[in-house]
A and B are shown apart, each in its own frame.
Chain A
Amino acid sequence: MNEVELLNWARGPGLAYATVFMVFGLTLRVLEILSLGRPKEYAKVRSSGVKEGFRTIIRRNLPEKHCWKYITATYIFHVGLFVVIFFFIPHTQLFKDVFGVFWDGWPNYIIDFFTILSIATMMYVLIQRRVNPARRILSRPSDYFVWLVTFLPLVTGYMAFHRIGPDYTLMLAMHILSVELLMVMLPVTKLVHAVTFAMARYYNGSNAGRKGVKV
C-alpha cells in the first residue's frame, strides 16, 4: 500500500469506521452511566446536592495551590486541543461534512500558536509524570498510552501543515490515521472524560452534598 492508497483509506472507510465506533461508543457509555442512577440512600439525605454538584464542576476546574504549575499546564493543553480541533479551518469543514453544523474557523497563525503551546505543555506534563514520585507510582501503562494517542495527532498535524517530514500525502494520511486511533480510543479508555467530565464531577459533588459533606 502506497501513501496515496493509505490516504484514500484513511479518508474513506477508515474515517467512516472510526466515526461510527466513536459515536456509538460514546452514546452507549453516557447512557449506560446515566441509567445506573444513584445508589439507594441508607442514611438521611441532608441536601438536594444540586448546589454542591455545580460547585464541584467549577471548583475542580481551579488549580490547587500545591500543584498549580502542573494543573495550569494541563489546562493550557486542553484549551489548546479544543481550539486546534474545533477552529482549524480544514477541521471545521470536516464537522460541517459529518454533522452538518458549521462555524467560522480561525486564522492559521492562531492555530499554529495553540498547537505549539499544546505540544509543549503535553511534553511538560509527561515529564512531570515521570519526575514526580507520586505521579509516577499512580501512572499506569494506559496513562502513557492515552497521552501518546492524544499527542500523535498534534505532532503529525503540525508536521503535515508545515511540510515537515517525508511527504505531505503520507503525513496527512498519518495525521488522519492518528486521529482515527484517538476517535476509536475515546470511548474505551479514560479519554471518555472528554464527554463525561462534567457529569462525573457533578455526581461526586452532589453525592457528597446529599451526605452532608461540605464541598
Chain B
Amino acid sequence: MTEERVDKAETLGGSLISNGVSRRTFLKFCSTVASAMALPPAAAKAMAEKLSQATRQSVIWLSFQECTGCTESITRSHKPTLESLIFDFISLDYHHTLQAASGDAAEHAREEAQKKHKGKYILIVDGAIPVKDGGVYSTIAGITNLQMLQDVAKDAMAIVSVGTCAAYGGLPKANPNPTGAVAVSDIVKDKPIINIPGCPPIPVVMTGVLAHVLTFGIPELDSHGRPMAFFGDSIHDRCYRRPFYDKGQFAKGFDDEGARKGWCLFEVGCKGPTTHNACATVKWNNGTSFPIQSGHGCIGCSEPDFWDAGSFYKPLSTGSMNMEGWATGALAAGAAVGVASGLLNSNTKSKAEAKHEPVTLEDMGAKNE
C-alpha cells in the first residue's frame, strides 16, 4: 500500500460498504439528494463518485445559546439511514452532546482539530451568540461563545449555521433579547456561511447540504444565506392544501368541519405563505408528515425573527401587535378633540354673529339718485 493510496475504510464509499450499504442504495441516495437539490441528472453519478472517494471531513460543532433540538433532530431518526451514516462518517472532532470526552480533554480535542485541519475543517454552529456585556451570558470552559466562535471561525474552510438561532438569532434574539444575542453572520464576515434554519432543521437538508459541500462545494444560496435547493420555495407554494386556499375554504378552528376536511389553515395562523423551507416536499420522520399535514399551521420557524412576528395563531393578514384597545382609544381621542374643536368653532361663530352688521346698499357704494 503506497502512502498516496487512500485506505478504503477511510473513504465514505468504504465506510458505507463496511456498514452493509449496497452500491445501488448509495446511488439511490445520491440521486435523491441531487434531485432534492435540483441538480442535473448527471450530477447524481458525479456526486456518487466524489462522495465514495471523499475522505473523512473534519467537523467542529459549536453549540452556543441553544436547546440541543438541532442535534436531536439530526440524531434521532427512527432507523439508521444513509443520512445518519454520512453523519457518522464525518470526523466530528468536537460536539458537546455527542463527544465522549469532557472537561479539559474535550477542549484539547477542539484545539487539536483546529491545528491539525487548519483551513480545512467545516465549522457547524447551532445556537445564537450573546454579545451583551462582553458575552458573559454563555461560556464554555470559561471562554465566551463570542471568543470561541471568532477563534474557531478564523481557520475554518466554511461555516454551516444549523438552526434558526445560529442562522438568524432565533429565540435568544427574540424581543427584548436580554443577552444581546446575534447570528453567526453578524460576527463572522470573512468566511462562506451556509444557513440551514429551522427550529429544528430537517435532517435530510442538513446531510444534503453536507454532501453538496463535500462534492461540489458551497451550494447556491438565497438572500438569507439558505441553500436555494431546499429553501427556494415557500411552504405555501408546495402545500397540498393550497387548492383550498385558492378556493377560499378555510378551517376556522382546529376541530371544526373545515379542519376535519383538511381545508387551508390560513385563518388559524399558518405562516406558510411567507416561510421558505422544504417541509412540504421532504417532510419529517422519514417522509411521514409535516406540521400542516398533522393539522397545525406552519409557524414560520425557518424565517428570521419569526418569534417576533406575532402570534402563531393569528392570520398573516392581521396585525402582529395586540390591537385591542388601540382603535377604541383612537376613536375616543378623535371624538374628544372633535368635540373640543366644535366648541371652539361654535364660539368663533357666535362672536362673528354678534359682530354682524347688516350691509346696506349705501355701504356698498350705491348712490341714491
Contact = CB atoms under 8 A, between A and B. Distances in A.
B66 interface: no
Given A36-B345, A94-B319, A108-B248, A12 B310 contact: yes
B244 to A, nearest CB: 11
Contacts, number: 142
A2 B237 contact: no
Contacts of A107: 247-248
Given A8-B305, A11-B309, A27-B335, A106 B342 contact: no
27 contacts: A4-B274, A7-B309, A8-B305, A8-B308, A12-B308, A12-B320, A15-B321, A16-B326, A19-B319, A19-B330, A20-B327, A27-B330, A28-B335, A28-B337, A30-B338, A31-B334, A31-B338, A35-B338, A35-B346, A89-B248, A90-B266, A90-B316, A91-B317, A93-B317, A94-B318, A96-B318, A169-B274
A22 B329 CA distance: 12
B318 A13 contact: no
B234 interface: yes
B234 A168 contact: yes
A131 interface: no
Nearest to B341: A32
A203 to B, nearest CB: 16
A13 to B, nearest CB: 7
B309 A8 contact: yes
B353 interface: yes
B328 to A, nearest CB: 9
A14 B342 CA distance: 30
B266 A28 contact: no
- Chief secondary structure at chain B's binding surface: helix
Nearest to B315: A93
Contact of A16 (B273, B308, B321): B321
A147 B76 CA distance: 57
A193 interface: no
A5 interface: yes
Contacts of B234: 168
A32 B333 CA distance: 13
B333 to A, nearest CB: 5
B316 A36 contact: no
A40 B236 CA distance: 62
Contacts of A212: none
Contact of B323 (A4, A7, A22, A98): A98
Nearest to B335: A27
Given A19-B327, A37-B346, A172-B274, 14 more contacts: A7-B274, A8-B320, A15-B321, A20-B330, A22-B330, A23-B334, A25-B334, A27-B333, A28-B338, A32-B341, A35-B343, A107-B247, A108-B245, A168-B234
B331 to A, nearest CB: 5
B121 interface: no
The number of chain B residues touching the other chain, given as a range, is: 35 or more
A172 B245 CA distance: 16
A191 B346 CA distance: 26
A99 B319 contact: no
Contacts of A29: 338
A32 B342 contact: yes
Contacts of B337: 24, 28
A213 B64 CA distance: 81
B319 A15 contact: yes
Contacts of B303: 4, 169
A99 B248 CA distance: 22
A56 to B, nearest CB: 24
A27 B335 CA distance: 6
B208 interface: no
A36 B236 CA distance: 52
Contacts of A99: 327
Given A31-B335, A105-B248, A97 B314 contact: yes
A23 B331 contact: yes
Nearest to A20: B330
A39 to B, nearest CB: 8
Contacts of B308: 8, 12
Contact of A36 (B314, B317, B334, B342): B342
B319 A108 contact: no
A208 to B, nearest CB: 22
B13 interface: no
A18 to B, nearest CB: 10
Interface in B28-65: none
